[in-house]
Structure 1
Amino acid sequence: MTAPPSALPIPARPILIRSLADALAAAQAAESAGVDLALMAPPAAGALWLLGVLERVRRSHPALDLTGLLDCGNRAGEAQGALAAGVPALLFTGHPEAAIRLSAIAKAHGATLLTACPPRLDLAAESRGGTHPERLEALCRAWLIRSEG
């Protein structure tokens, strides 16, 4: 049996979003900081939701280097469907044999498969002081310019 794929780096420190407002605040922060952005969708958000958010963010910030990461948990079928839909990066924490198969599918689609969750900013957990856009943007900017997780 081949070893499961290792967690590959994605272009930027991911920010876990739960709304378009979260995504737009993160995009504004990344653009103002001059860094790439990876938006991470929570478990069960779905590939189409994430792709729709990415499209809206790209329209608002066309110069931003943007990617999306979908957390599929241990759901191999969801991961395979997300790859077919065009999601550029997935987090799959299921069975190692399934991860091996998904890794091959991801490679064929030019996508990245992660098998361990990277350090990420969870805006819902960090924005206890309110979800005002300027506060979200400040949290994102601070996260994106930090040098370590």
Structure 2
Amino acid sequence: MTAPPPIHPILIRGPDDALAAAAAADSIGKPLVLMAPPAAGALWLRGVVERVRKAHPGLEVAGLLDCGDRAGEAQGALAAGLRLVLFTGRPDMAGRLAAIAAARGAALLTRRPPALDLAAQSSAEGRGRHRGPSLEALCRGWLARDQG
């Protein structure tokens, strides 16, 4: 299994999160990986990514769905066209899913990469669910870090 390049996703809970992250990424010329929580679903994430692409046509953006140990959900995410899928289940299933991903030009991750959780950061820093410049600043700082 070939390892994909390191990614630094931003965990989103809705389109407002995604658009703020996209504005930040676009402003500093960094690619963006939007990570959906497990309950979101592949089609929801694909729709959010498409919306971001329309709003920021020059931005390189991908969606990452956390499927946990649910192989069927991971296979469905790949079938839905997602390019990044996180699967933390059995290694034999991961091998099969990695082959499916490779055939589709996608990547299967078996370890959750460090991610910026916008909801946790907003709550911890007293911002609640406000989606203004401070959220963009959080994303810009995360994306600008030397995370290699």
TM-score range, shorter chain: over 0.9
Q: Distance in 1 between matches of 2:81 and 2:147?
A: 29
Task: Report the CA distance between 1:6 and its aligned residue.
Answer: 6.6
Unaligned runs of 5+ in 1: none
1:132 maps to what in 2?
Answer: 131
Tell me by how many angstroms 1:44 deviates: 1.8
Which residue does 2:144 correspond to in 1? 145
Return the TM-score normalized by structure 1: 0.92
Calculate the TM-score normalised by the size of structure 2: 0.93
Identity %: 65
Distance in 1 (CA, whole Å) between partners of 2:44 and 2:14 is 10
RMSD over equivalenced CA pairs, Å: 1.4
2:58 and 2:84 map into 1 onto residues whose CA distance is: 20
Q: For residues 8 and 118 of structure 1, what CA distance do their matches in structure 2 show?
A: 11
Give yes or no for contact 2:83–2:106 (8 Å, CA) kept in 1. yes
Stretches of structure 2 lacking an aligned partner (at least 5 in a row):
none
Cα distance in 1 between the residues matched to 2:2 and 2:40 = 24
Equivalent in the alignment of 2:76: 81
Distance 1:133 1:97 in 2: 44
Runs of 4+ in 1 over 3 A off after TM superposition: none
Higher relative contact order (CA 8 A, sep 6+): 1
Q: Deviations over 1:58-84 (max 9, x none)?
A: 010001011111100000000001101
Letter in 2 for 1:91: L
Distance 1:7 1:24 in 2: 28
For the 8 Å contact 2:84–2:107, the answer to whether it is kept is yes
1:118 & 1:18 partners in 2: Cα distance? 17
Q: Does the CA contact (< 8 Å) of 2:16 and 2:131 recur in 1?
A: no
